[in-house]
Amino acid sequence: MSAPLPSPGNRTVLIGIDSITKHGLQSSAVLGWALRQFLVPGDSLLIVHASKSLDASSAGHTNVTAMSPDLLRQLERDVEDTVKGMLRGAWGENKVESAKVKAQVVKGDPRETIKSLAASENVTAVIVGRRGSVGAVKRVLLGSVSDFLAKEIQATLIIVKGD
């Protein structure tokens, strides 16, 4: 018999995102759905962006050529601040402080990164997007993050269509 799941307000939720720009975060179908339909004050959020080709331009920094550790940490702080602002708008100022928001920007395979973090952080749920426009051949060749996670993680997986 497995342990009972944490109740809403006591969960750790990993949200996989494709974009780490402010506009990308604010228009993310995954984040929008999570804020409207799933997250409640008190939940802890782990916002994860992983890319094999992570570079400064993917974060909107066209004047920087190298992705230094300092720049990565600044990007993570920017993501955390943007998500906290979105939570403020959804929950109000007095409730946003009850949520812990942590961002991880990682150069690497999104599938393996999310799988590893989901296990090491003992998350209750993982929320990711699924692109409807990716063809079957491309999905077979490149692999689908959501398909992989459905087979590989122990946590509840929520797939949001359209991100």
The whole domain housing 154 covers 12-161
pLDDT at 65: 55
- pTM of structure: 0.86
Helices (H) and strands (E) in the chain, counts: 7, 5
Q: Which of 115, 144, 142, 140 is nearest to 131 (CA)?
A: 144
Percentage of residues in the chain having pLDDT higher than 70? 82
Residue 90 lies in a domain: yes
pLDDT band at 150; cut points 50, 70, 90: very high
Q: Is 161 helix (H, G, I), strand (E, B) or coil?
A: strand
CATH of the domain at 102: 3.40.50.620
Q: What is the pLDDT of residues 109-126, one digit of tens each?
A: 999 999 999 999 999 999
Q: How many domains does the chain have?
A: 1
DSSP state of 4: P
**Maximum mean pLDDT: which of 5-9, 33-37, 130-134:** 33-37
Largest CA distance in the chain: 54
Q: How far apart are the C-alpha atoms of 11 and 16, rounded to whole Å?
A: 16
- Is residue 123 within 8 A of residue 14, CB to CB? The reply is yes
